[in-house]
Chain A
Amino acid sequence: MNIKNIIKALFVSCASFLTIGQTTAQEADSTLVNLGYGTTVEASQSTAATGVATAKDLSKYFAINPTNALYGQIPGLTIMQNGGDWWDQSASMVVRGIASNNNGSYPLVLVDGFERHLSTITVAEIESVTVLKDAGATAIYGQRGANGVVLITTKRGLDEGMKVDFTYEYSTNQAFRMPQMLDAYGYASAMNEALALDGQDYLYSKEALDAYKNGTYPEYYPNVNWSDELLANTGFVHDFNTTFRGGAGRTRYFVTLNYMDGNGLLKQDRNTNDYSTQLNYRRANMRANLDIELTKSTLMKFNMAGRISGTNRPGAFSPANDNPPSLFQRIYNTPANAYPVRYSDGVLGGSGTYPYNLVGDVNESGYAVTHERTFYSDLTLEQDLSAITEGLSVSGSVSFDNNVIYLDDQTRNYAYAERTAEIDEINGELYDFTSKDLGELTPLSPRSAFGGQHRQSNVIIKANYEKEWGMHQLNALALFHTNTEVGMWKNSTYHRINYAAQLRYAYNKKYMADVTMSYSGNNILDKENRFQLYPALSLGWLISEESFLKDSKIVNYLKLRASAGLVGLEQSQWDLHRTMYSGGNGYYYGGNNKYTGGLEEGRLANPNVLPEESMQANLGVDAKLFGRLNLNADAFFERRSNLLVSEGSNVSQVIGVPARLVSNGIVENKGFEIGALWQDQIGDFSYMIGAQYSMAENKIIEQNEIFREFDYQYSTGQSIGQTFGLVHTGFWGENDGLNGTNVAPDGVVYSYTQELKPGDVKYVDQNGDNVIDQFDYKAIGNSWLPEVNYAFTLGAEYKGVGFNAILQGASNVSVNLNTQGLYWPLYNNNNISTFSNDRWTPATAETATLPRLTPERNENNYRTSTVWQRDASFLKLRTLEFYYHLPTAIVEKVKLKRGKIFFRGMNLFSLDNLDIIDPEETRAVYPTLQSFNVGVSVGF
C-alpha cells in the first residue's frame, strides 16, 4: 500500500506549505511528499518512512468521520471501528501498534499543521493524509511525536479560473449485526432451566409458558420483541457538498460547504409528539482556504473552517443526566416477557424490576438536543528573502481554535403501570389481578447545560534556507512553535514549546543524509526535566540512479532508507513533581450529619519524572519494477522508556501515601510493513491490484511489577493489553462424581463456588496446588489491539465505468465477551440472547461450549477465562463502489463539464469467528453499521 502511496505522490502533490510559487502544484505531475511542519520533499529524495492517502483514495468511502475512510489505506496505520451513536462512530487510530498506555497511544493529528480533531472536518475537505512513521520523520515534533504523526492537508485553490463541483449522496444504513434476544417463551423456559439446574423450583408454570408461546394473554403474559418495537430497519443520511475552487491573478481560493442530515435506527411515533425524538444528527461544515500573493515574494494564507452541528435524542437518554441510561443496554436487557408495551387501556407497561417503559423512553420522555460549534482559523505569512540572501525565506503562522458544546433539553417523566395476574391451572383463566401505578406524568421541563469548551492557539515562526552548488544540495530549516491548549479548567492547561531544526543534504541526488533536532517541552513536569533534546538521523540511497541500474528495464526505481533517532511523548499527568494536598474526605462530627471537610496528602512528589522517550530505528526500501509493480517495505524497532510506573512494588505500603510514579517502565515494539501495487493500462482498460500487510508486536520489558509467586502471572514480558484469565477444559458432567461441595472429584478445590454442579466450568489448576483461584490466572489469547493488519485494494475502469473495492482484515487479536445479558445471561435480571444456545444442558453435555444457565451470579462460571474469550480476527469488505463517468457529449448538453453517478456499499460482509456481533464492537451499544449509497457528482 505504501507503494501505492508513492505512486499517488508521483501524480498528486500535496499542497506546498512553505515554498513560494509551488502552491499551484497540487495536481501537477510533481513528486512531493509532505513532511513535518509543512516541509515538502521530492519523493525520491525523502529518507523518511511515510505513508500517504490522497483525496482520491478517501473518496472510495462514504464516511461521516474521516477516520472511517482510512481503513486499509496506509500500512502501519491501524484503524479500529467503534460503536456508539451512529454519528459518533469515529474510529481509533494507532500508528505502528502501541508502546505505552499514556494518552491512549494515539498519534498526534495535525490539520494544516495544527492539532485538530479529525472528526470535526469532512472527507471532502481533505487533499491528503500523510502518516509519519519513523524517527526521521517525527523527531521534528519532539515531545509529541513518539506515537506517530498524522498530517491532514486540506485542499487549496488552483490558478485556473473557477471549478465548481456539487455532490449529493444518499445513504441508507442498517445494523451490521445485532444480537438476537430470546422471545418470551424462550426466556421463560431458559429461566426455568436455570432454576432447575440450581435445584430450585420453576418460576414459570406450564400455563404461563403456554400463554407466552400462544400469546393468550398478551397483557399479562406479553411477548415483546423490543428491537422490533423500537428500531426501524434502516437509518439514512443525506450528504450535500459544494466546492468552489479556483483563482485569478494573485488570489486563489478553495471554498467548501457541506451539509449533512441523518436519522438513526430509532422508530418514533410521530403521532405522539409535535417534536422529534429521533436520533438525529445534522451538521454544516464550511471552509475557506485563501492564498493571496501580497507581493511577488509575499504569500498570505488564510484558512477558516467552522462547523455547526447538533444531535437530537429522546429525553430519557439526555447526556445532561448525571448517568444517562444506555438505550441499547435497555433494549437488550429487557426480557420479552418483562411487560407489554401498553395495556388495553393505553397505559404503558412496566415493572418494579425494569422500572421504565422503552416505548415511553423513546416517545414520551421529551427530547434532548446538543449543539456543538467548532471554529478553526489560521493565518500564515510567507516571505521570500532572496533579496537578502538567495534561497532564504521566513514564515510566521498563528492559529486560534475553539470548540464549544451546549446541551439543551425538554424532558419529562411518563406514567406506566405494573399489572400482574396468575393463570388458573384448571380452567386457564386469569385471577389474582394486581395493578400498581409507577412513574408520574409530568409536563415538559427545560434544562440547559454547558457541555464543555476546548481552546487551542499556536504561533509558529520558521526560517528556511535552500542552496544548490555543484553536486550538492542543502536545505536548512529552523523553527519555533508555541502552543496553548485549554480544557474546561485552568488547571488542565498545557503550554508547549518546540525549537526545532532540520538539515537535509543530498549529493548528486543519489545519497541523502538528513539530521533533525528538536528541543521541546511543556509545563507539566518539573523545570529541570521538562525540556528534552530529540535528535534523529536518516539516510537514503537511490540505487536506481547508480550506473549499473540506470538503464535497467526491470528495476525502474529502487531506494534504500535507514533512520534512527529519539522521539518523545509528553506525560499527561499533572503535578507529578509536587506533593499536593487536596480535599480529601473529612469526618462527621456532631449531629445532623454535619460534615467537616479534610485535607489529604496526594501522591508523593517525584521531581525526576521525565517525558516518555522512544528510541526508534527503521529500515526501508521503495521500488518500482516492470514499470507496473510498486513495492515498499519497512521494518522498525522501537524501545519506549521513561514510562510511568508505580514504585509501590519496592516501597512499603506502611509509608501511608500513594507510592511515587517513576519513569522506569520500558516497552519494546517491533514490526514491519509491506505494500505492493500492480497498476496497468491496456487500451481503454485500466486496473490496479494492491495488497498490504503490517505487523507490530510489543512487549513489556520493565514495569516495576509487584512480586508474583508464579512466573506465568507476570504481565512483564507480555504485550500491553494482554488478557489474563483461567483456562477451561470443558464442563463438569452429571456422571463425573460431583459430591455437592466445591471439591472436585480429583480433589481440586474450586474457590469461586460453594458447590460444583454439572455444567459448571472445569478449569486448569496452573500451579498444581489443588485450588482454583487467582493464582491460576495466566495469559490467554491476545491483546485487544490487533498485531496484524492487512488489506487488499482492487480497482478497474473501462470507458468511464469502473469499480473500487477495499478489503481489510486484522488478526492476532482477542475479545472477552463479558457483557451481561448478551453473553452472561439471566442473573441480575439480565436477558438471554441466542449466544447462549450453545450452553451446557444434560442433553448437550457433549457439544456445549458454554456453561449451564443459572439465575445466580455464579462466580465460578462468569469470570475472565477461555470460555468467554474469542479470536476477534476478521476480514471485512469495507467498501465496494461502482461508478460511471457520464460521457462528455451528454454532460455538455446540460451545460455541465463533468458528471458522475455512483453506487456503493460499506461493510458489506465480514469473515470472522463471531457470527452474532461485529468482532470490533461486542458491547451492548448502538450497533456498527452497514450502508448502501447512491450518489451523483457534477462539475461546472
Chain B
Amino acid sequence: MKLTKYLTFAFVAILIGIFSASCEDIGPGALEKPDGGDVTIDTIFASAEYAERVLWNSYRSLRSGIVKNGRSHALGQDLQEDITDLAHSTKTWGTAKVMYYAGGLNSSNASDPGNWLNPMCILPYGDSPGKGIYTFQAIRNCHTFLDHVHKVPDMTDGHKEMLKAEAKMIIAYNMTELFRNYGGVPWIGKVYAPDDDFTNPRLTAEATVDSIVKLIDEAVPELPWQIAEAEMSNWAGRFTQAGAMALKTRLLLFAASPLLNSEQPYLDGDAAQQYFTWYGGKDDSHWQRAATAAKDLIDKIAIEGGYALEMPATESVQGYRDAYKQAYMSRRSTEVLISIRDGYESQKRWGGGMYDTNLNYGGGTCTAEFMKMFPMADGTPITDPASGWDPAVDPLGTEGAGPARKYNRDPRLYETMTCEGDDFGGEVLKTWLNKPKGKHVPLRANQNSASTFIRKFIPGWAGGLYPIQEHHFAYMRLPEIYLSYAEALNELGQTNEALPYVNMVRNRVGLKDLEQVGSWDQASLRDQILNERACEFGFEQVRWFDMTRHKLENSFAQKGTFLQIAKNGSAYTYNYTPISTNSKVWWIDFDEKWYLLPFPLNEIQKGYGLIQNPGW
C-alpha cells in the first residue's frame, strides 16, 4: 500500500511535470506561438526594399507580345498579329483559331482562361495568372503602394515621388490597355475591400481617357527623362518621362480615331447610348490633343536628347537590316520608349516558345497581303508599275545566291518574315513547299501552308538550337511617335506638314521620301501611314488596334492568301493560294462587334452596373 501511494504520487508528479515543463510546446500555449517571418502589409511598408518589391511585382503586368514556352501574354500561344490581315495561324488548337477565326469568343468564355493552353481573348476582363495577365492585381498593388509608401522610413521623399509616379504609370498602362480593348471601363481608383459597395459603372469613353491622361500628367514631372547610363544595366525597363509621354500619345491617338471620334457609333446599343464606346460625335480637337502630345515628346527629345532612331552604320541592305533589328530587338535600343521585359528563353531545340508555336506548329504565318505591303528597296510601292514588281517572278526580290543575291524589297521585309534562301543564324532558309517529307530542316510542320513565316524576334538557329538571348518587347518605339504625329496632322488637314515625319521612318531603312514616290492627299496619306505602320511594327501588336480604331472592315473581311514557293531544279515558281487551313468567319460574315471585346457574363451577373458592349 505504501508503494501504491508512492507510485501514485510519482505518477501525478510526472504528469504535472510533463504538462508544465513543456507547456509552451504541448499545452494550450502552443496554439499562441508567434509565427516568425510573416510578411504583412505592415512589414512591407516598414522597409524600402520590401515596398519597392510591391512595385516590381506590378511591373509584371506589362505584357510582352512574344510567345514563350509555358507563358503566353499575347493571345494564348498565338500572336496578336495572327488575328490581323498580316498573319495567320494554321494551328488547329490555337487561341486565334478557336476564339477568333471560328468566332468562338463570346461573353461566356471571355473571362479567365485559366490554364495556359486554354484559348483566350486579347485581354480578358479579369486576371489570369496562368496566362500572365495581372491587370487588376497590378492596379490594386499600385494603389496599395500609393496609399502606404509615405510610411516607409528609409526612403527619401524624392525617391518616393518617383516611385509613386511609376505606380501611376503602371495603372495608366493597364487602364489604357483596357480602354483600347473595351472602351470606357469602370475606374478603379482605390484599393477595394471585398465588403466595399462595388457599384462601379463604366465611365464614358471620354471620362476614361481624361482620367488616364490625368494620371499620366501627374506622373510625368516626377519621372526621370531617361534611365541614366550608369543605371542602365540594373534598371533599364522602368517607366521614364519619355515613356509616359509616349503612352499618352498612343492613348490620345486611339481616342481620336474614327472608332470613337465619329458622327455615329460603330454599333448602337446601351453602351453606345451611354457613350461608353464612343464620344457621341466627331470633334477634331481630339486629333489636336493627340498631335500636341506627340509634338511635346518630339520637342522634348530635341531639347533633352537621349532618344533617337537607330541609324544604319552603312547605307547597305545589311546596314539597314542591322539598324532595324537593333531598333526592335535590343534592350539597349535608343529608340525604345517603353520596353517590356520578359526574361529569356533558354537554349533549346523544338522546345516551345517562339520557335515551336510559330515556326513549328504554324502560328505567325505571314500572308501574301502583308508581303505586298512592303515597298521596293527604294521605297516605290509595288503597285507602282515603275517598281517592276511581278508577283510571278521573284516577288520577294531575293533570287540569287552568295554575293550575287539581291535584296530588292524593303529591308524590313527580310527582318519580318522568312524569305527563301535567306541567312537564318548561319543556316540557309529553305521555305519552298515541295520538299521531300521529313527532310525540311530547319522548318518543320509549317512547311505545308506557306513560305513566309515570322522571323522577327527569332534570331535563327545555331546548329538547330535557339541561342540563349535576352528578350524584351518594344512596346513603344520612337517611330510610332513620328507616325502618330503625322497621322494626327494629316487628319487635321496638314498633309504636307505630316510627310517629313513619315519620311524619317522610311529613310532609316533606305526608302525614298514619300514625295518622290507619289503624290499625297489626306485619304491616300492616311492609307500610306497605316501601311507604313504595318511594315515598321509587324508583330509588335500595332496592327490590330490600327484595324479597330480605323474600323478597317475590309482588312477583317478580305480573305487572305499565302505565298507558296515551289522549287524545281533551281527554278522557283510562286503561287498565291487562298488560305484554306482555319478559315475565318469574318471572311464570310464580319460583324463590327469585334472592334471591342465582350465583358464576361459572370462579371456582368455580379450586378455592379457593368453594361455589355454592343453586339455581344
Across the interface, do A592 and B27 meet the contact criterion of CB distance under 8 Å? no
Chain B residues with CB under 8 Å of A589's CB are 56, 234-238, 341
Find chain B residues with CB under 8 A from A600 CB: 57, 137, 141
Contact, CB under 8 Å: A707 / B602: yes
Residue of A383, A387, A394, A591 near B470 (CB, 8 A) is A591
- A530 and B32 alpha carbons, distance in the complex (Å): 11
Whether B141 and A653, one on each chain, are in contact in the complex, defined by CB atoms closer than 8 angstroms, is no
Pair A295/B140 contact, Cβ less than 8 Å = no
Given contacts A589-B237, A654-B136, contact A295 B4 (CB under 8 A): yes
Report the minimal beta-carbon distance from B11 to chain A, rounded to whole angstroms. 5
B31 at the interface (CB under 8 A from A): yes
Q: Is A586 in contact with B56, judged by CB distance below 8 angstroms?
A: yes
CA distance A707 to B98 in the complex (A): 23
The complex places the Cα of A497 from the Cα of B53 at a distance, in Å, of 39
- Beta-carbon contacts under 8 Å, A317-353 to B: none
Specify which of B8, B112, B232 is in contact with A653 (CB 8 Å cutoff): B112
Residue-wise, chain A 446-487 has the 8 Å CB interface mask toward B (1 for contact) of 000000000001010100000000000000000000101000
Any B CB within 8 A of the CB of A768: no
Bound form: Cα–Cα A237–B188 in Å:
66
Pairwise interchain contact B341-A298, C-beta atoms closer than 8 A: no
Question: Which of A139-147, A207-215, A258-266, A575-583 has 4 or more CB atoms under 8 Å from chain B?
Answer: A575-583
Any chain A CB within 8 A of the CB of B93? yes
Give a binary string over B470-482; 1 marks a CB under 8 Å from any A CB, 0 the rest. 1010000000000
Instruction: For chain B, give the interface size range.
Output: 35 or more
B71 to chain A, nearest CB (A): 10
CA A590 to CA B332, docked complex, whole Å: 9
| Complex contact B234–A584 (CB within 8 A) | no
Checking A588, A590, A594, A651 against B342 with a beta-carbon cut-off of 8 angstroms, the contacting residue is A588
CB neighbours of A575 from chain B (8 A): 38
A500, chain B: closest CB distance, angstroms: 15
- Residues in A with CB closer than 8 Å to B31 are 495, 497, 521-523, 530
Query: Which residues of chain B have C-beta atoms less than 8 A from A654's C-beta?
Result: 125-126, 136, 139, 186, 188, 192, 200, 603
Whether B4 contacts A296 by the Cβ 8 Å rule is yes
Nearest residue in B to A740 (C-beta to C-beta)? Answer: B580
Contact with B along A641-658 (1 / 0, CB 8 A): 000000101111111110
Question: Which of A381, A578, A742 is B102 in contact with, Cβ under 8 Å?
Answer: A742
Smallest CB separation, A353 vs chain B (Å): 11
A890 contacts the other chain (CB 8 A): no
In A748-769, the 8 Å CB interface with B consists of: 749, 751, 753-754
Q: Which of A491, A578, A709, A754 has the most CB of B within 10 A?
A: A754
User: When the two chains form the complex, which single residue of B5, B7, B40 contacts A579, counting CB atoms closer than 8 Å?
Assistant: B40
Interface string of B520-541 (1 = CB under 8 A from A): 0000000000000000000000
Which residues of chain A have C-beta atoms less than 8 A from B108's C-beta? 709, 774-775
- Which residue from B4, B56, B136 sits with its C-beta under 8 Å from A655? B136
Other-chain residue from A295, A601, A650, A749 in contact with B141 (beta carbon distance below 8 A): A601
Within the assembled complex, what's the spacing in Å between the Cα atoms of A527 and B34? 12
Q: Report which of A201, A597, A653 forms a contact with B127, defined as CB distance below 8 A.
A: A653
For this complex, into which size category does the number of interface residues on chain A fall?
35 or more
Asked if residues A523 and B33 are in contact (CB atoms below 8 Å), the reply is yes
Residue of A nearest to B194 (CB): A651
The interface residues of chain A lying within 8 Å CB-to-CB of B472 are: 588
Docked CA distance A586–B55 (Å): 9
Q: Does A596 contact B (CB under 8 A)?
A: yes
Is the CB of B30 closer than 8 A to any CB of chain A?
yes
A191 to B186, CA, bound (A): 54
Secondary structure of the A side of the interface? loop
| Residue A441 CB within 8 A of the other chain | no
- Is residue B601 contacting chain A, with contact meaning CB distance below 8 A? yes
Closest A residue by C-beta to B605: A707
Please tell me if the beta carbons of B56 and A597 are within 8 angstroms of each other in the complex.
yes
Instruction: State in angstroms the CA–CA spacing of A651 and B235 once bound together.
Output: 37
A131 to B256, CA, bound (A): 73
Interface status of B111 (Cβ within 8 A of chain A) = yes
**CB atoms of A587 and B341 under 8 A apart:** yes
Contacts of B606 in A (CB 8 A): 649-652
Are A656 and B141 in contact (CB-based, < 8 A)?
yes
Cβ contact within 8 Å between A593 and B19? no
Q: Which residues from chain A contact B58 at a C-beta distance below 8 Å? A: 598
How far apart are A413's CB and chain B's nearest CB, in angstroms?
Answer: 18
A599 beta carbon closer than 8 Å to chain B: yes
Report the Cα distance A311→B609, complex, angstroms.
Answer: 61
Write out the residue numbers on chain A whose beta carbons fall within 8 Å of the beta carbon of B50. Answer: 581, 599
CB distance from A389 to the nearest CB of B (A): 13
Contact across chains for A381 and B11 when beta carbons are under 8 A apart: yes
Q: Which residues of A contact B43 (CB under 8 A)?
A: 581
Given contacts A581-B44, A647-B194, A587 and B59 within 8 Å (CB-CB): yes
A597 CA to B102 CA in the complex, in Å? 40
- Whether B608 contacts A652 by the Cβ 8 Å rule is yes
Given A482-B27, A484-B25, A579-B41, A461-B15 contact (CB < 8 Å): yes
With contacts A587-B341, A591-B331, A707-B602 taken as known, whether A601 is within 8 angstroms of B53 at the C-beta atoms is: no
Cross-chain contact A590 with B234 (CB below 8 angstroms): yes
Question: Which residues on the B side are within 8 Å of A706 (C-beta)?
Answer: 602
> Which of A522, A575, A647, A654 has the most chain B CB atoms closer than 10 A to its own CB?
A654
Whether A233 sits at the interface, judged by CB under 8 Å, is: no
**Across the interface, do B341 and A774 meet the contact criterion of CB distance under 8 Å?**
no
Q: B203 within 8 Å of A by Cβ? A: no
Task: Kindly state the separation between the CA atoms of A537 and B141 in the bound complex, as whole angstroms.
Answer: 51
A592 — which chain B residues lie within 8 A by C-beta? Answer: 233, 470
Instruction: Name the residue among A383, A497, A604, A742 with the largest chain B CB count within 10 angstroms.
Output: A383
Q: Is A773 an interface residue (CB 8 A)?
A: yes
A626 part of interface (Cβ distance < 8 Å): no
Task: Name the B residues within 8 Å of A588 (CB-CB).
Answer: 237, 341-344, 472
| A385 engages B137 (CB within 8 Å) | no
Are B92 and A856 in contact, with the CB atoms below 8 A? yes
Q: Is the CB of B344 within 8 A of A581?
A: no
Closest chain-B Cβ to A573's Cβ sits at a distance in Å of 15
Residues of A close to B32: CB separation below 8 A: 527
Mask of B12-39 contacts with A, CB within 8 angstroms, 1/0: 1011001100000111101111010011
Check if A656 sits within 8 Å of B139, measured CB to CB. yes
Asked if A660 and B194 sit within 8 Å, CB to CB, the answer is yes
Task: Give the Cβ gap from B156 to chain A, nearest Cβ, in Å.
Answer: 20
Q: Is the CB of B33 within 8 A of A495?
A: yes
Known: A594-B234, A659-B194, A707-B605. A484 touches B39 (CB 8 A): no
**Chain A: CB-nearest residue to B344:** A593
CB of A507 within 8 Å of the partner chain: no
A484-B25, A530-B31, A580-B39 known; A298+B11 contact, CB < 8 A: yes
Q: List 25 A-B contacts (CB under 8 A).
A: A387-B5, A394-B12, A461-B19, A482-B27, A497-B28, A523-B30, A578-B38, A581-B50, A587-B56, A590-B232, A590-B234, A593-B343, A595-B343, A599-B50, A599-B57, A601-B54, A649-B602, A653-B126, A653-B127, A654-B125, A656-B135, A660-B194, A707-B601, A707-B602, A856-B92
* Closest A-B pairs by Cβ, 7 of them: A598-B57, A656-B140, A656-B136, A653-B126, A588-B341, A599-B53, A707-B605
